[in-house]
Structure formats: C-alpha cells, structure tokens
C-alpha cells in the first residue's frame, strides 16, 4: 500500500494441521535488497481425541492393545498403563502414533498380573499439548480357581480346627464354612477370610452343639472371576461315651413283659436288639424297638407265654 502496509484476510489454512503456524514474509526494497520477517500463532481447529481397545488372551496370558488418535502428531508416544483387579500396575512402553493416527502393540506379557478385570489407561498429547485419554477393560481368566479344606476334630474339647488353601482367590475374600453332623444338624462358621498367601484357617471352633459321628465341613469361596470353588472334608467326633440301660417287668397273670430303657449318644431311630432268655435257656427275640428322639425306648405287652 501507499503507506507501506500490506494485508490479506481469510486465507484458507484448512490444509494445515493444528499447532504453531508460522508465516515468513519477504520483499525487495528500492535497492533490490531482500527484507524479511516472520510471525507465529497457534491453531487449535481440531479437537484432539484418543481411543483404546484391549483384548486379553487367557491361555497365553498376553494382551493386544490398539487405538486411534485425532490431531496427534505421528511419532507421538502413547502412554499405556495396565492395572489388574488387585491394583497391580504394569507400564507398556515403546508405543507411538502411526502416520494414519493409529497405534497398536500385540502380545504384551501380562503373566505378572492376576485374574479378573484388566484395565488399560491410554494417554497422549495432541498437537496443541492437550492431553487426550481413554480406557478399556477386558477380563483375564488364565488361572483355574481352586480351594481345599481340612478338618480336625478334638473329641475331648469338642472343638474343630479348619484350614485350607486357595488358588486365584483374592486376599480378604470370605470363605463360607458349613459344618454338618451325622444327625443333619448344621453349624455355620463365620469370620474366615483368605490370607495374602492364599491360605485360610480357624481353630478352636466350638462344636459342642453337634452330635457324635462323622462331622463334615463344606467350604466355598469365589475366585477372582466370580466362579465358585468348593471342597469338603470329614472327621469323626467321639466326644460322648455311648451308654444303654434296660428295665424288665413281667406280668405273671398275663404272661407278658414290659421292656424300657435309656440311651446316651445313640441316634434316634436306631434299632435296639432285645433278647429274652428263660431259666431253661429258651430264647425269644423282640423286634421293632427303636430309640426315641429323647434317647429312650420301650415296648409293652410282649407275649412271653
């Protein structure tokens, strides 16, 4: 212009990418010397974005990670962090954005992480230095969950010690323990959780409310993938000495006998074998007599003619 100024407005720069835009200006002065200058401004016309996808191979204990970016320069590092269900963290390095904005890495060894949900957090900086992030989750079930249980009964103390081991069960997980005696009576044992090394135990459980005979413990817990793992064990309790009494009353006129008695530590419904023997050595069996719920038994009017 006459005043030495120059300008142009609304130059279409849609073909340029976000970030610093630099203009270099030059002209020749009246003496043919070149005069130059430059100026820079920032363009942030496109919102930066990033996506991530995660696929876990249970058998190989590996992960494939891939994603896409918008307005992130090729060669930009993508920061990838894997976190398992126990809070263990694994960094994945060496991943950069391709010319088309994509990025990927396959067969990442995740054998050091535990089963359950695996989450990947991905981040990168766009052309304007803004952080763009995304996350994705997949489940890993590389290890079969398992549980064992052992039971030891102390007859004298009427107590039980219960212990066991677990595989792929998170520390702090509750172990459900149920004791059942030979009469079908059930006792729950509470407050048992898995230790950091996968073991669990409880000692001195009062089982005085259960009856003698086989005591069975059923144990169960959920592994890191929510699958139930179970086991059972049995031990015998003989805390009470068994005993039996019998009384006999003969009715001379009717030639009948009444027989009754009591039992200790004999299960209801158990058959009582009764044998009558006279002075001449004659023997008569009395059948159909069983122990009542209170431990007693009786039969009246037995024909002994």
pLDDT digits (tens, 9 = 90+) for 262-302: 999 898 999 999 999 999 999 999 999 999 999 999 999 99
| Of residues 107, 106, 103, 84, the one with CA closest to residue 95 | 103
pLDDT at 30: 85
Which pLDDT belongs to residue 66? 98
What are the tens digits of pLDDT across the range 46-80? Answer: 789 999 999 999 999 999 999 999 999 999 999 99
**Boundaries of every domain in the chain:** 49-140, 146-237, 243-303
pLDDT band at residue 16 under the 50/70/90 scheme: confident
Distance in Å from the first CA to the final CA of the chain: 148
Q: What is the pLDDT of residues 82-137, one digit of tens each?
A: 999 999 999 999 999 999 999 999 999 999 999 999 999 999 999 888 899 999 99
Fold classified for 49-140: Immunoglobulin-like (2.60.40)
Q: How confident is the model at residue 12 (pLDDT cuts 50, 70, 90)?
A: confident
For residues 102 and 68, is the Cβ–Cβ distance under 8 A?
yes
Q: Answer positive or negative: Cα dihedral of 246, 249, 250, 256.
A: negative
The Cα 303–Cα 255 span in angstroms is 6
pLDDT recorded at residue 110? 97
Worst-scoring range by mean pLDDT, 22-31, 131-140, 175-184, 205-214? 22-31
CATH topology classification for 146-237: Immunoglobulin-like (2.60.40)
**Does the fold of domain 146-237 match that of domain 49-140?**
yes
* Mean pLDDT on 146-160: 95
pTM of the model as a whole: 0.70
Does residue 43 register a pLDDT over 80?
A: no
Q: Determine the distance from the C-alpha atom of residue 168 to the mean position of all C-alpha atoms in its chain, rounded to a whole number.
A: 7
| pLDDT surpasses 90 at 45 | no
Grade residue 18 by pLDDT with cuts at 50, 70 and 90: confident
């Amino acid at each position: 212009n006459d005043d030495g100024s120059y300008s142009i407005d609304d130059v279409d720069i849609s073909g340029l990418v976000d970030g610093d835009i630099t203009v270099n200006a030059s002209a020749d002065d009246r003496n043919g010397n070149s005069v130059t200058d430059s100026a820079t401004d920032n363009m942030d016309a496109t919102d930066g974005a990033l996506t991530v996808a995660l696929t876990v191979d249970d058998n190989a204990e590996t992960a494939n990670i891939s994603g896409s970016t918008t307005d992130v320069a090729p060669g930009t590092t993508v920061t990838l962090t894997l976190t398992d269900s126990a809070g263990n963290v694994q960094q994945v390095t060496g991943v950069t954005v391709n010319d088309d904005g994509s990025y990927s890495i396959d067969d990442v060894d995740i054998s050091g992480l535990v089963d359950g949900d695996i989450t990947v957090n991905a981040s990168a900086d766009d052309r304007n230095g803004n952080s763009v992030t995304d996350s994705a989750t997949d489940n890993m079930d590389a290890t079969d969950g398992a549980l064992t249980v052992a039971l030891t009964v102390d007859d004298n103390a009427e107590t039980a010690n219960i212990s066991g081991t677990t595989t792929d069960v998170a520390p702090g997980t509750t172990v459900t323990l149920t004791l059942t005696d030979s009469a079908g009576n059930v006792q729950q044992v509470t407050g048992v959780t898995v230790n950091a090394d996968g073991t669990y135990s409880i000692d001195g459980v009062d089982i005085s409310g259960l009856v003698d005979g086989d005591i069975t413990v059923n144990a169960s817990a959920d592994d890191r993938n929510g699958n139930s793992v179970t086991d059972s064990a049995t031990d015998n309790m003989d805390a009470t000495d068994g005993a039996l009494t019998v009384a006999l009353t003969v009715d001379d006129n009717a030639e009948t006998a009444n027989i009754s008695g009591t039992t200790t530590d004999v299960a209801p419904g158990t058959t009582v074998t009764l044998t009558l023997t006279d002075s001449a050595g004659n023997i008569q069996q009395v059948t159909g007599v069983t122990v009542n719920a209170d431990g007693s038994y009786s039969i009246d009017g037995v024909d002994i003619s």
